[in-house]
Structure 1
Amino acid sequence: MKKFLKILGIIFLGLILTIILGYYNLRYTAEDVVVENNMIQDEYGWFVDVPNEQATIIMYQGALVDAKAYLPLAASIAEKGFDIYIMDSWFDLPIFGINQAQNIIDREQLQNVILMGHSLGGVVGSQVALSNSNIEGVVLLASYPAEGTDLSNSTMKVLSIVGNQDQVINRENYDNADLNLPALTQKVVIDGGNHSQFGDYGFQKGDGVATITKEAQWHQVADEVCQMFSK
């Protein structure tokens, strides 16, 4: 019996190690991201602080993407007058951090909150927005609400941004999700943008090749966010 338990323990340990190694092989880490003085790391992830903010954006990272990889995008948006939190979820999977936005809202007593998410992060953000009256808008970056998340009767604003070179997003699901979006939805296509360049983590497997720089893509996102949500 002891021998059997020992063998079982070895198998279990091997399985755990396989999962961990697989995770690190699949994970997309931030590239040469410069951390500025107004970028603060805390228990929930990263915070980009600006004086006299118009509103606060809370962002869910894409699946298996280092939260730090979104700091350059956050910096571009912050220049427009928005505080931004980038949540760092367990195993870089936003579904494991689904309650973090509410925790931040409660801790900081926030109002005028906008949820933003990249890819799977947008799916999670849409779900959170559906059940939270403190949310005034959602920004979907290469993302869309899940089939069971119906925002069509909501009065909130939704900004949906996708690159025309994005080969990762499921286009059929993206188009079908229009039925779940509210009337105050604006859809923007970035000419030359792809899936990977919403962050700064290199080229994502299966993506299309962008024909614009990542900096240009970040600045266009920032401009669209400012245009829709500025007071």
Structure 2
Amino acid sequence: MSPETLTLDELVFEVRRSDRRRTLEVSVGRQGELRVYAPALTGTDELAAWVGRKLLWVHQKLALKQDMATPAMPPDFATGEVFSYLGRSYRLKLVDRQRRALDFDGDSFLLRREARERAAQHFRAWYRRHGLPWVRDRIELLAPRVGASPREVVVRDLGYRWGSCSRSGRIAIHWKTLQLPVRLIDYVIVHELAHLAEARHSGEFWARVERALPDWAERREELAGIAGSYLRVGEPRG
């Protein structure tokens, strides 16, 4: 039996119904696959109208995935190249001598010249090392507003995801997220904190997000609109 589908704006969504589900949800998969999850008795017209209101978000998600998947010229790691941290841009300087392969003096990134060949790895390690305590501090600030706290916090590579949470209570933040402005990182953190209490994007989930960030919708739209191009500015690759 062929799966049920819904076509809107030249996009084809696979519809998955369940007797146990009480809310509607749309998802964009890693490869761009589109799915709508719905209660078993949801009418086709109601489903189409609801998905129609989500089309802007869906198109933004698809555009972001395409942009991030598009091959980009890797950085040269040359003096003057720009890298971002917490929404601010900092130039790179090659230096002949310093203790660490990559350092940061508050104004510039400093890369030891002989370490240039492995610069991408050094940048990833730097974001993880410096990002983790910063993320922990932000979570300590935001968790009481959401009403949920993680058991563990990590910073690592998450593919296309800004953040994730596990059933065990661990929150993971992508190291690339640390390049974004603080207001957008806060949205990512709050989103994952809310998931600790509510697995799905239910009314209670969004109520928790709104208690922490009343302008969450504006932040989400801003994140979807700028993220792809923002993360490609001086993005460490390799």
TM-score (norm 1): 0.29
Flag the structure with higher helix content.
Answer: 2
Q: Say which one has the larger Rg.
A: 2
TM-score (norm 2): 0.28
